[in-house]
Structure formats: C-alpha cells, structure tokens
Amino acid sequence: MGFFVFLIFGLIAGALAKLILPGKQGGGWLVTLLLGVVGAMLGGWIAGLLGQDVYNSFWSPLGWLFAIGGAILVLLIWGLITKNRGKTSA
C-alpha cells in the first residue's frame, strides 16, 4: 500500500474509532485523525507480530479491524494522558 493510501486508511480508521469511542480525549478532530494514523500503524505492527499481512490491500477486512483497533487503543491512551489537562487545582 502506498504512503498516501496508508494516510487515507489511517484517517478513516481514526474517524471510525472516534465514532466508536466518543468522549473528550482532547485535541479535537485533527489530533484524533492524526492519532488514527498512528493507531493504524500500531495495528499493523501488532498484526505483523501475529504473523498477519493485513495491509496488502486497501479493502482487507482484517486490515480495517487491526487499524480501527489500534486507533481505539491510541485514543484510549491519549484520553488518559490528556484527562487532567486544563484543570486547575485549588
């Protein structure tokens, strides 16, 4: 899969992960979509560790599952990191 196709893949996976995992993770849609790209990379790495070649095609269902799962994982971690930002202690 080419670089730009992978970026589009990650952006779509990030948007779908945000729909599955609504809430305040902080950063808005741009950060969410960028985290989706990171999540797609993480999902592909995990799939590779499991011996799966999931990114051989844009329409690979297993590739989409790993990409969305990775994006959800990254969004959860990002939400934990940014949870207490902006709060002041009195």
6-52 per-position pLDDT tens digit = 788 888 888 888 888 776 666 777 887 788 889 888 888 888 899 88
Phi, psi (rounded to 5 degrees) for 22: -75, 165
DSSP per-residue letters across 4-69: HHHHHHHHHHHHHHHHHS-S--SSHHHHHHHHHHHHHHHHHHHHHHTT--TTSSTT-HHHHHHHHH
Q: Structure pTM?
A: 0.80
User: What value, to the nearest 5°, has the Cα angle with vertex 41 and ends 35 and 45?
Assistant: 140
